Structure 1
Amino acid sequence: MADPRGPAPAARGNIAIVGAGPAGLAAAEVLSEAGVAVTVLDRMPSPARKLLMAGRGGLNLTHTEPFETFLSRYGAARARLEPAIRAFPPEALRAWCEALGQPTYAGTSGRVFPTAMKAAPLLRAWLARLAARGVTLLNRHAWTGWSADGALCFDRPGGTPIHLAPDAALLALGGASWPRLGSDAAWVPLLAARGVALAPFVPANCGVLIPWTAHLRDRFAGSPLKRIALTFNGRTVRGEAVITAGGLEGGVVYALSAAIRDRVAAEGSATVTLDLRPDMPVEEVVRRLATARRGQSLSNHLRRNLSLPPAAIALLHEGEGPPEAAVKALPLRVTGVSGLDRAISSAGGLRWEELDDDFALRRLPTLFVAGEMLDWEAPTGGHLLTACIATGRAAGQGMLRRLGAAGAP
């Protein structure tokens, strides 16, 4: 697709971007628009594998909630992320998609998706724009560190390693979740060896581990739980979940997983409370269950009077005491969280104090960092992708300032 804004001006500078995910591609867009020669290198066979995987669920791009609420989702990292997100807020991201020929819509929850409900068309249009601006994309190039003279070293399958000495470089290698899609954190020892401070990676937006009985695990793993509410530490989230062999996954779990993860780490376990009929007041539940059973089993009584599915009824038998008493408040003991290989995202990474305001490393001022490599986390709902693209763009603009490119912000 030709860029409607026309060809970029003559190149000024030479940049290497390591990582072809949303953050790296966003930086490449900013730089190439300013006429900088950009080479993007990625160890995977094709770019943005994690973005494409996220697109299987519709590709939640961003969110329409009030902007201050949106910013609050980034917790302790808000102050460092806010300038980048203010420079490229949710409405700017939607306009950017529109300019790529990919209109968006907001669902009833406020989550924003491309109308096509897929990531592939958006990615194709994005890559076409970058190619039209002269961006070079090299797949199957794995960054392995630095040579003795300070060049960036890359391994290629079946080929000799290559060394690059750009004017500046950006690392956008992702965090540590979904490692099979490219974010394997292999860069951690490389930066640690240079004295860069890093926070350990831990799962974020992840499932929780619950010691089910063999009956529940064998009969109901994979069963959905719809229209439920989960409560932890005074916060209640409505939505859906899925019973797994090891516990629970799904939207309501992910929304609370950071707080649950931290409590388990501190105390060894945590107790969450499940409401299987959040749309029904407790008084109505009591009234319906007070009716005579007339020879019905308890399971049939719960099914007929509360419309509970078999999986929900089985869950009620996991607790202590009368199952019917737990419909509105079933305590579940969480003993851990799912690992990084199953987590949607990760917390931890490069500590913010290692970066200046341009997203450059203080110890290595020609090396910039963006995306999930940085120490932040956010819930699902479009916050993750928005921040990745926003930090990539902010790092690209920081690189332009370092290069002294005309028109740099």
Structure 2
Amino acid sequence: MSETETLRALVIGGGPAGLMAAGTLAEAGFAPVVAERMPSVGRKLLMAGKSGLNLTKEEPAPAFRAAYGGAAAELATALDGFGPAAVMSWAEGLGQPLFTGSTGRVFPEAMKASPLLRAWLARLREGGTELRTRWRWTGWDGPVALFETPDGTRRVAAEAIVLALGGASWARLGSDGRWSAAFPADRLAPFRPSNAGIRVEWSAHMQPHFGTPLKGVAFHAGDRVSRGEAVISATGLEGGGVYPLTPALREGAPLTIDLFPDLGTETLRQRLARRRRGDSLANHLRRAVNLSSMARALVMECGRPLPEDLAPLLKALPVPVAGLAPLDRAISTAGGLRFDALEPDLMLRDRPGVFAAGEMLDWEAPTGGYLLTACLATGRQAGLAAARHLEGRPG
């Protein structure tokens, strides 16, 4: 058996939540060791940077909090301490100029993650943080954290530990959910896909439209409505327009598409009534309501047999959902470590001195800056609580 290394502060996980916890501990004078199972840290952050790195969203606090649904209350302390304004200030402090888009989404002017990550890691190293890669956490031996490393099994005891092990999507980037085996089942909510694509078993006549974006529509599922773009793919629908509907679709709510969200049913009916003699239905839909060829194909795919009154169908076109994209292909996951297994400061109730943060906690949010903000905010909250623990102060 290897000897046990003793540390003051240890962070397990090198994603945004773990790196934020490490920086917070270092600022408090407790520069930690960060153990990451992948060959490098921040891999999911770099993947997010491929679409511009949406850091956060500028909008009124009530609307921002509402994006977290049933977990809004549990995340309130973290978001109070590190909300959108703080995220923006932090990124600018790392030398990253930002801009806010028309929808309130905030991006680095560089439109990628690598400059921010380089500056962030440089700051962490300057503050004394040590990064150890290819260190996979495998669980506990009493209070000792166990790791599989290139040099064999390692044992580490630390006075304060922050767990930031991610969810269960995109395993190739580091989040495989295998950490859940180290926790009792009653401390966990099952992992489920969130912000996931929708599986649809298209007929062959839809193939010419694969890769085509569906714009200017509204997607409905249960009590959720989403205005945004989605792409018709070989497997179904992908994109920001459908991702927010994942919670409702998981519960079996049907999916409909309003192809004319800015027109009322009666107005649409009146326009459709003016059909030229001899016009095919396809030409009529194109002339009367400017319906694109791709949208017409979608109507023929999902709306048959076509009713005589087409207006209600175009306002609520049913889509035969075959399921959600697999868990590992989802942008994020719901489920994980339950909040009732934690103290309000994110310390595990049954492991004093061990804190948890980020996507390994049981919350979900849509894309649009909410995911990254909550990861950073809970990482900071856990780091602050770990520092208080080291200082002997109550939470």
TM-score by length of 2: 0.92
Give unpaired runs (5+ residues) of structure 1: 1-12, 265-269
Q: Secondary structure at the match of 2:75?
A: helix
Instruction: Show the counterpart of 2:110.
Output: 116
Shift of 1:67: 0.4
The letter of the residue matching 1:274 is: I
Shift of 1:283: 4.0
Instruction: Show the counterpart of 2:4.
Output: none
Give the Cα separation in 2 of the matches to 1:70 and 1:44: 32
For the pair 1:393 / 2:380, whether they are aligned, the reply is yes
The letter of the residue matching 1:76 is: G
For the pair 1:337 / 2:324, whether they are aligned, the reply is yes
The farther-off stretch of 288-297 and 172-181 is: 288-297
What do the CA deviations read for 1:184-231 (whole angstroms, capped 9, x no partner)? 001011123xx7610100011112223332322x33232210111112
Shift of 1:284: 4.2
Q: Secondary structure at the match of 1:394?
A: helix
The farther-off stretch of 181-190 and 163-172 is: 163-172
2:306 to 319, 322, 326: 322
Give the Cα separation in 2 of the matches to 1:308 and 1:349: 43
Instruction: Show the counterpart of 1:259.
Output: 248
Give the Cα separation in 2 of the matches to 1:40 and 1:405: 22
1:210 to 166, 187, 200: 200
The letter of the residue matching 2:215 is: K
Give the Cα separation in 2 of the matches to 1:61 and 1:197: 30
Shift of 1:329: 2.1
2:144 to 134, 144, 151: 151
Give the Cα separation in 1 of the matches to 2:345 and 2:338: 15
Give the Cα separation in 2 of the matches to 1:60 and 1:405: 37
Instruction: Show the counterpart of 2:56.
Output: 62
For the pair 1:42 / 2:2, whether they are aligned, the reply is no
**Identity percentage over the alignment?**
53
Contact 1:34–1:405 at 8 Å: present in 2 too? no
For the pair 1:16 / 2:10, whether they are aligned, the reply is yes
What do the CA deviations read for 1:27-56 (whole angstroms, capped 9, x no partner)? 001100111131111111111111111111
Instruction: Show the counterpart of 2:255.
Output: 272
Give the Cα separation in 2 of the matches to 1:304 and 1:336: 35
The letter of the residue matching 2:333 is: S
Shift of 1:370: 0.4
Instruction: Show the counterpart of 1:160.
Output: 152
Give the Cα separation in 1 of the matches to 2:86 and 2:291: 43
The letter of the residue matching 2:135 is: H
Instruction: Show the counterpart of 1:247.
Output: 236
The letter of the residue matching 1:336 is: G
Shift of 1:393: 0.5
**Structure 2 CA distance for partners of 1:53 and 1:230, relative to 1, 3 Å:** same
Shift of 1:80: 1.2
For the pair 1:233 / 2:225, whether they are aligned, the reply is no
Q: Secondary structure at the match of 1:334?
A: coil
Contact 1:196–1:350 at 8 Å: present in 2 too? no
Instruction: Show the counterpart of 1:3.
Output: none
RMSD, matched Cα: 2.0
Contact 2:22–2:31 at 8 Å: present in 1 too? no
Q: Secondary structure at the match of 2:117?
A: helix
Q: Secondary structure at the match of 1:255?
A: helix
For the pair 1:300 / 2:288, whether they are aligned, the reply is no
Give the Cα separation in 2 of the matches to 1:177 and 1:253: 18
For the pair 1:198 / 2:191, whether they are aligned, the reply is no
Give the Cα separation in 2 of the matches to 1:292 and 1:370: 59
Shift of 1:294: 5.0
For the pair 1:135 / 2:129, whether they are aligned, the reply is yes
Give the Cα separation in 2 of the matches to 1:312 and 1:293: 20
For the pair 1:364 / 2:358, whether they are aligned, the reply is no
Aligned length: 385
Contact 1:20–1:48 at 8 Å: present in 2 too? yes
Shift of 1:398: 0.5
The letter of the residue matching 2:44 is: K
Shift of 1:18: 0.8
Contact 1:177–1:346 at 8 Å: present in 2 too? yes
